[in-house]
Structures are given as structure tokens and as C-alpha cells.
């Protein structure tokens, strides 16, 4: 029982890191970026290539995946995304889904279409078990590691958003671009940095998740639905919303597959429908702002 | 005036070209090889194409006075595309034989074209039992899933000492096939299937399923998943300490695909699978084949797809020889039926009645051999016919 809960939390944390960038761009910048999963895939492939071909240790690959995807995100934001901010949502969706398809095809061409395999270092492979019988808690070390990393990131993100100057600038820019700019905030730089961090987090999530979710060129398409559900259910106003939504979905998904394997795959969708009927705006809605 | 000269000149040119085409047709024997060269199944296409080219390089392209020409087309594993390409190959290119077919739906979509045009269709990869029944012109040189899963069930019950088994398959055609044939045979042999789990193809986190297996405490876990996902199952199997809980991991050879096995890491060690081909198969024919294949393809290891393509080419070549390059589709087909030969996989023959392959199924265990992970054979079930046909 506890093992299932533990696995669910690990999976939920992973979903959160993968989706939080999407929540930020969608909620704060009002831009629908369906290519978000492509950044995650990029991070995963960077890790795989570095580890397999250049023997870079896993722990160094993770920040590298983050940095590389953040840089790529920054470049793309500056060149491709910025002109799209003012366009309608339909244009944004078409543009970013097109970008996703291009990323999928490019990855297929350069890396081949087969599943990539991440070799974890020895110290992450083990498993610790506590307790007995139905209350037994078995913790895979890698999942423990995921939870630790994601929890640390969540706290850091929350701190940056609420307590730092950058956070208040970002919130100000989102609430009213013109006034924020009038107060001397460089809105473009704020958005650039936010987008880059969001992409970097996706890259990190992809690197962490390659082991659990598998990694092949269709990764962005396979997992897009899950990211979108997290954002839709969690609402886009804060990061606590997506965090709770991701945890809820992770636990529901794992528990559903365990207890009713025949319908396991549908539990998530069912949950989403129920929540959205109950609260169409998502679990958390920000009051004020626009 | 100028126009007229141009017209007549082009008319002459067209006539010259078409007569050249007619001449060429008399002397060439065309094989239309339709494979997934891009997309999810690209490794299948790559392996088969490499094997077919290797066979031609080794055996020359002149057979019975005909020049053999291989036309490779990429169907990206989309059945509609396969069908269209097959039509084009038959109508425009006038191919003598259709071959390839990476996945079952592709083969099934093409079968009516083979029947109508009376073109032999050599299936080199797709493994669902019913394919050979879709058209009397289908000949298969790969394997059938029931052959592997039934053999696994026999071994697990008789020699593997397993009484309770959980099956875990990906929720798609071949997975359900594997589950069904394994289950039926294992129960027939007196075993119990504790649970049959189906994992969705999308978003496959195996954790909850494996936890369920662990809590069910079976003797063995029978797995069929697409080859890439096999590695993930094995890793999580170990991570969950299921080997220490006394559960053995068994499956068809798809999960320890030679193409990927070496990258799977030590997690794969000790996994028992049943299949018709392993690159480590200890025979002189196979050693030669593996060596030549690796040499021609930058060290890529041939897998069971490659051997299906290699043997498929042999079947076509032999049929062409037997008909002395004269026969049409039906003559070729008849010459393919009943062929017996020594393949890299071991002895095999094409059953004249079902047009399906009959070969040995080997029980293999993953071991480290010469610094690489290999499927090492330790037992064999001789001359396995497709169990899916007996009814």
C-alpha cells in the first residue's frame, strides 16, 4: 500500500517538473506552448548521449540538460516565440504543435526511433524496504532521488516567485505589461528568463524521467496529454496548483493501475473530467489580475 | 517546322525508351521490398534491408539468367502506405515478388493485392499467426508469435519448475496474441495463471504493474512488450527486488532483441526467453552470417528480423532457380513451398500446406559472452509448427 503511494508521489513529482514550465508560460505569459514536451525530450537525449558516448556521470548530466535546454529556450524565445505572443491562441497552438512535429522528426532522423536506455549509477539502483506485510514501504533509490530533487526545486521556485525581486517583477509584468514597463521593468527580459527557466526545467524533467517514462522520439506527443492535464487541473495561477494536481494524478494513475489494471489507463482522464466539472477553472484560481 | 522535328524526335525517344524497358523487363527479376525504414519500427527495416543486401552481395545478382533487382520502399509502418506502395510496385514496376512487411496490419493490407495480381508475397517480419491465411500467395520466413509463446509455456511448466505465472503484455495485437497462447498452453500443462496484466502502450510506467506482480508472488513473470520497453521492464524488475523474491522473468525473444540487448545492461542477465534466432547461435553457418553482417554494417549485430530477411531472400532465389527464371507468380509460389535449408537460425523449412515457417525454438538465457550480452541457447524444441494453425 505505502509502496504504491510512494511510487505515485515519485511519478507525480516527475510530472510536476515536466509540466511546471508549461504552467508558467501558459498561466503567467498567456502563451500556449505545445512544444514544451520537445524540450523535455531534448533534455533526455542530451543525458543519454553524454552518458553513453562521453561517459559523463549522471549527476553532471542533469544540470547540463537543464542549462542546454534553458539556452535553447532562450534562443527560440528571442527568435521564434516572441512574435507569437500577440497572435491568437489558435496560431500559437498550430505554431507550437508544428514545432513539436519537427522536433520529433529531427530526433528520429538523428538518433533513430528506438527506445533509449539510461544506465543509472550503482548507488541509485538499490531499494530500501521498511515495515512488514501490507504496510510495507519499498522505496527505489532512484524514485527517492526524484522526489528529493523535485521537492528542492519546488521550494526554490516558490521562493523565487514570492520572495525575490525577480518574482515580483514577473508577477507585475504578467498582471499588466504596460504599467510594468512604465515602472521601468524590462518586460522582455523578464519573459525571456522565465521562458528559459521553464524550458530548462522541462529538460531536467526529461533527463530524470527518461528512466521511468522511457525515451524515444515520440516522447513529446506521448506525454503531452499528461502535461496538459496537470496544467488544466491545477490551474495556472501559482505553482502550488500544478504541484497538487501532478501529485494527485501521479498517485491516482499508479493506484489505478495497481488496483484495477484493466481500467488503469483511464483513471487519470476520469479524474480530470470530474475535477473540471466541479471546478472548470482548475483547482486553484487566482483572484484579481487579468 | 521546329515543333514537328521536336515531336517526332520525342516520339522516337519514347519508343526507344519503352522498348528498352520491355527488354529490361525480360532480363530483370524485380523484388519489391516494403519496409518501415523510418518511424517506430525503423530498426526492423534497417535490419532486413541490410540482410537482404548482404544476401545479394554474397550470392550475386545473376540468377537463372536474370538480373535480380531490389526495390526498397519505406512504408513508415502505416498500412495504407504499404498497400499503396505494393500497388505501385505491382502495376508500375511490375515486380515479380513482394517482400518485407514490418508489422501485421501492413501485411494484412497488402494480402489482397498479392492475391489479385498473383504475386508471391514473402513476409520477413510480421509475426501474427493469421497472416498466411490472408492470401494463398503469402509465404513467411520470420516466425509466428504463438510458436515462441507456446514453447515458452511448455518449458516453463515442464523444465522451468513454474506453477504460478503472471503474464504482463503491452495492450496491442501481438501482446494479446502472446498472452492468449501462453496462457492456454500453460493452463493445459497444469499451471495456473494468477493474473493477466495489460499495460497501455502510451505512457508506460511499469511500476504499479510490477508491484502488483510482486504482491501476487508467482513463480514466474511472462512478459511481452515492444523490444525497447523490454529494458525498462527488466530494470524495474530488478529495482523492485523481484528476482530476490523468487520470481523468474521469462518471455518471447522480442524482449531481449539482439539489436538492443547489449545496451540493456546487467539487468538483463539471467532472463529466460524462447525464440527462433539468437546472434550467438553456435553453428558455422550462423558464425559466418554474423561476421559478414557486422562487417557490412559497421558492427551492427543482426537480430531475428535480419535473419527473416536473409532467409526470405534465399527462398526467393531458390524459387527463381527452380523455375529457371521462366515461371510466373504461381510457379514461383509453388517453388517456394516445401523448401528446406540450413538457415543461420538452424534448420528450417516452409510448410507446403500453410506456407508458414517451421523451425526450432530455442530456450535462451542472457549471459555475458566475450564482454557482450548475448542470448545463450541452452535447450531446444525441434521443428515447431505454428500452433495458431492447428485449429
- A57 phi and psi angles, rounded to 5 deg: -60, 150
Q: According to the 3-state scheme, what is the secondary structure of chain B?
A: CHHHHHHHHHHHHHHHHHHHHHHHHHHEEEEEEEECCCCCCHHHHHHHHHHHHHHHHHHCCEECCEEEEEEEEECCCCHHHHHHHHHHHHHCCCCCEEEECCCHHHHHHHHHHHHHHCCCEEECCCCCHHHHHCCCCEEECCCCHHHHHHHHHHHHHHCCCCCEEEEEEECCHHHHHHHHHHHHHHHHCCCEEEEEEEECCCCCCCHHHHHHHHHHCCCEEEEECCHHHHHHHHHHHHHCCCCCCCCEEEEEHHHHCHHHHCCCCHHHCCCEEEECCCCCCCCHHHHHHHHHHHHHCCCCCCCHHHHHHHHHHHHHHHHHHHCCCCCCHHHHHHHHCCCEEEECCEEEEECCCCCCEEEEEEEEEEEEECCEEEEEEEEEEEEECCHHHCC
Closest C-alpha to B219, from B178, B256, B186? B186
Report how many helices (DSSP H) and strands (DSSP E) chain A contains, helices first. 11, 2
Q: How many CA atoms lie within 13 A of B104 on its CB side?
A: 16
Beta-carbon contacts of residue B227 (< 8 Å; ≥ 6 apart):
A114, A115, B43, B254, B255, B257, B259, B260
Using a CB-CB cut-off of 8 Å, the residues of chain B touching A115 are: 226-229, 231-232, 260
Q: What digits encode the pLDDT tens for the residues A227-272?
A: 888 888 887 667 788 888 888 888 888 888 888 777 767 788 888 8
Closest C-alpha to B302, from B123, B120, B124, B61? B124
Which grid cell is A107? Answer: 530526433
Residue pointed to by grid coordinates 539502483: A125
Which grid cell is A92? Answer: 500559437
Q: Does A110 touch chain B (CB under 8 A)?
A: no
Residues above pLDDT 70, as percent of chain A: 94
CB nearest A226 (choices: B41, B203, B232):
B203
What is the average pLDDT across A173-190? 82
Averaged pLDDT in 10-residue chunks for chain B of 391 residues: 56 50 64 84 85 89 85 86 90 89 88 90 87 89 88 84 86 83 88 85 75 85 79 80 83 83 78 88 88 86 89 89 81 87 87 87 86 86 78 46
* Distance in Å from the first CA to the final CA of chain A: 43
CB nearest B39 (choices: A113, A254, A255):
A113
What is the average pLDDT across A179-208? 87
Question: Quick check: A121 pLDDT over 90?
Answer: no
Q: Do A138 and B41 touch (CB under 8 A)?
A: no
- Closest residue in A to B202 (Cα–Cα): A222
Chain A: give the shortest CA distance to residue B306, in Å. Answer: 16
What is the ipTM score, two decimals?
0.71
Task: Check residue B157 and give its pLDDT.
Answer: 83
Q: Do A113 and B205 touch (CB under 8 A)?
A: no
Residue A98 sits at the vertex; the CA angle it makes with A92 and A99, to the nearest 5 degrees, is: 90
Q: Which domains does chain B have, with CATH numbers?
A: 19-143+283-355 (3.40.50.2300), 146-275+361-389 (3.40.50.2300)
Q: Is the pTM of this model over 0.80?
A: no
Task: Check residue A72 and give its pLDDT.
Answer: 92
Q: Do B260 and A114 touch (CB under 8 A)?
A: yes
Task: Check residue A290 and give its pLDDT.
Answer: 41
Residue ranges of chain B whose CB lies within 8 Å of a chain A CB: 38-43, 171, 195, 197-198, 200, 202-205, 207-209, 211-212, 226-229, 231-232, 235-236, 238-241, 259-260, 263-265
Which grid cell is B314? Answer: 534465399
CB nearest B211 (choices: A112, A258, A264):
A258
Task: Check residue B199 and give its pLDDT.
Answer: 83
Dihedral sign of CA atoms B373, B177, B206, B228 in order: positive
Q: Do B228 and A214 touch (CB under 8 A)?
A: yes
Task: Check residue B10 and give its pLDDT.
Answer: 55
Residue B23 sits at the vertex; the CA angle it makes with B17 and B25, to the nearest 5 degrees, is: 105
What is the average pLDDT across A92-107? 89
Closest C-alpha to B272, from B257, B245, B244, B253? B253
CB nearest B40 (choices: A113, A223, A254):
A113
Rounded distance between C-alpha atoms, residue B323 and residue A158, angstroms:
77
CB nearest A127 (choices: B41, B231, B241):
B241
Using a CB-CB cut-off of 8 Å, the residues of chain B touching A106 are: none
Rounded distance between C-alpha atoms, residue A148 and residue A144, angstroms:
6
Q: Does A169 touch chain B (CB under 8 A)?
A: no
Using a CB-CB cut-off of 8 Å, the residues of chain A touching B263 are: 52, 117
Task: Check residue B9 and give its pLDDT.
Answer: 55
Q: What digits encode the pLDDT tens for the residues A277-286?
A: 888 777 776 5
CATH number of A2-278: 1.10.3470
Q: What digits encode the pLDDT tens for the residues B92-142?
A: 988 989 998 888 888 889 999 999 988 999 999 888 888 888 888 999 998
Structural domain boundaries in chain A? 2-278
Using a CB-CB cut-off of 8 Å, the residues of chain B touching A214 are: 204, 228-229, 232
Residue A133: pLDDT band (50, 70, 90) is: low
Chain B: give the shortest CA distance to residue A215, in Å. Answer: 9
Testing the interface with B: which of A129, A218, A257, A259 to mutate, by most B Cβ within 10 A? A257
Task: Check residue B391 and give its pLDDT.
Answer: 46
Chain pair A-B, CB pairs under 8 angstroms = 103
Task: Check residue A71 and give its pLDDT.
Answer: 93
- Residue B159: exposure state from Cβ atoms within 10 A (0-12, 13-18, ≥19): exposed
What is the average pLDDT across A84-104? 87
Residues above pLDDT 90, as percent of chain A: 8
In Å, what is the CA distance from B241 to each residue of A91, B168, B227, B230? 49, 17, 22, 17
Amino acid at each position: 500500500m505505502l509502496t504504491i503511494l510512494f511510487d505515485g508521489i515519485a511519478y507525480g513529482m516527475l510530472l510536476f517538473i515536466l509540466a511546471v514550465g508549461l504552467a508558467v508560460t501558459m498561466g503567467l505569459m498567456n502563451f500556449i506552448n505545445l512544444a514544451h514536451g520537445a524540450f523535455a525530450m531534448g533534455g533526455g537525449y542530451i543525458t543519454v548521449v553524454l552518458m553513453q558516448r562521453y561517459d559523463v556521470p549522471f549527476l553532471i548530466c542533469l544540470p547540463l540538460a537543464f542549462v542546454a535546454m534553458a539556452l535553447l529556450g532562450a534562443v527560440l524565445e528571442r527568435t521564434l516565440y516572441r512574435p507569437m505572443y500577440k497572435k491568437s491562441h489558435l496560431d500559437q497552438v498550430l505554431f507550437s504543435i508544428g514545432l513539436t512535429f519537427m522536433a520529433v522528426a529531427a530526433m528520429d532522423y538523428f538518433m533513430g526511433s528506438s527506445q533509449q536506455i539510461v544506465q543509472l549509477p550503482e548507488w541509485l539502483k538499490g531499494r530500501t524496504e521498511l515495515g512488514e506485510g501490507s504496510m510495507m514501504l519499498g522505496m527505489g533509490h532512484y524514485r527517492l532521488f526524484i522526489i528529493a530533487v523535485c521537492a528542492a526545486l519546488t521550494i526554490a521556485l516558490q521562493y523565487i516567485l514570492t520572495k525575490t525581486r525577480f518574482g515580483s517583477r514577473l508577477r507585475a509584468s504578467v498582471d499588466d505589461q504596460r504599467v510594468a514597463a512604465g515602472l521601468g521593468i524590462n518586460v522582455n527580459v523578464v519573459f525571456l528568463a522565465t521562458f528559459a527557466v521553464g524550458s530548462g526545467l522541462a529538460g531536467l524533467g526529461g533527463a530524470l524521467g527518461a528512466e521511468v517514462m522511457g525515451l524515444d522520439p515520440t516522447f513529446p506527443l506521448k506525454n503531452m496529454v499528461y502535461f496538459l492535464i496537470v496544467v488544466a487541473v491545477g490551474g495556472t495561477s501559482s505553482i502550488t496548483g500544478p504541484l497538487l494536481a501532478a501529485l494527485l494524478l501521479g498517485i491516482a494513475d499508479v493506484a489505478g493501475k495497481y488496483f484495477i489494471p484493466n481500467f488503469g489507463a483511464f483513471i487519470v482522464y476520469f479524474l480530470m473530467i470530474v475535477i473540471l466539472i466541479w471546478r472548470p477553472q482548475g483547482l486553484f484560481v487566482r483572484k484579481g489580475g487579468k | 517546322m521546329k515543333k514537328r522535328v521536336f515531336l517526332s524526335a520525342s516520339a522516337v525517344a519514347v519508343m526507344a525508351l519503352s522498348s528498352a524497358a520491355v527488354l529490361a523487363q525480360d532480363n530483370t527479376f524485380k523484388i519489391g521490398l516494403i519496409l518501415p525504414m523510418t518511424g517506430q519500427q525503423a530498426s526492423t527495416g534497417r535490419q532486413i534491408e541490410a540482410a537482404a543486401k548482404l544476401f545479394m552481395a554474397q550470392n550475386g545478382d545473376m540468377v537463372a539468367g536474370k538480373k535480380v533487382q531490389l526495390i526498397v520502399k519505406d512504408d513508415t509502418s502505416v498500412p495504407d502506405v504499404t498497400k499503396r506502395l505494393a500497388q505501385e510496385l505491382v502495376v508500375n514496376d511490375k515486380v515479380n515478388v513482394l517482400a518485407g512487411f514490418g508489422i501485421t496490419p501492413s501485411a494484412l493490407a497488402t494480402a489482397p493485392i498479392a492475391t489479385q495480381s498473383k504475386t508471391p508475397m514473402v513476409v520477413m517480419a510480421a509475426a501474427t499467426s493469421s497472416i498466411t491465411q490472408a492470401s494463398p500467395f503469402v509465404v513467411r520466413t520470420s516466425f509466428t508469435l504463438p510458436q515462441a509463446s507456446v514453447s515458452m509455456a511448455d518449458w516453463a511448466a515442464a523444465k522451468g519448475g513454474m506453477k504460478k505465472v503472471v503474464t504482463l503484455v503491452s495492450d496491442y495485437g501481438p501482446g494479446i496474441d502472446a498472452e492468449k497462447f501462453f496462457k492456454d498452453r500453460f493452463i493445459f500443462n497444469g499451471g495456473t495463471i494468477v493474473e493477466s496484466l495489460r499495460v497501455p502502450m502510451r505512457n508506460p510506467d511499469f511500476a504499479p504493474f510490477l508491484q502488483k506482480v510482486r504482491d501476487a508472488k508467482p513463480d514466474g513473470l511472462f512478459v511481452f512488450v515492444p523490444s525497447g520497453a523490454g529494458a525498462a521492464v527488466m530494470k524495474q524488475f530488478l529495482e523492485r527486488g523481484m528476482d530476490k523474491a523468487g520470481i523468474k522473468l521469462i518471455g518471447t525473444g522480442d524482449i531481449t532483441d539482439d539489436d538492443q540487448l547489449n545496451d540493456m545492461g546487467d539487468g538483463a542477465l539471467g532472463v529466460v526467453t524462447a525464440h527462433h534466432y539468437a546472434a550467438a547461435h553456435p553453428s558455422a553457418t550462423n558464425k559466418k552470417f554474423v561476421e559478414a553482417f557486422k562487417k557490412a554494417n559497421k558492427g551492427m549485430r543482426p537480430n531475428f528480423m535480419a535473419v527473416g530477411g536473409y532467409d526470405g531472400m534465399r527462398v526467393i532465389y531458390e524459387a527463381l532457380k527452380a523455375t529457371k527464371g521462366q515461371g510466373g507468380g504461381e510457379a514461383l509460389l509453388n517453388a517456394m513451398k516445401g523448401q528446406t535449408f540450413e538457415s543461420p537460425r538452424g534448420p528450417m523449412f516452409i510448410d507446403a500446406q500453410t506456407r508458414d515457417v517451421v523451425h526450432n525454438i530455442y530456450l535462451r538465457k542472457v549471459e555475458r559472452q566475450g564482454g557482450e550480452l548475448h542470448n545463450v541457447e541452452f535447450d531446444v524444441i525441434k521443428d515447431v509448427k505454428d500452433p495458431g494453425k492447428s485449429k
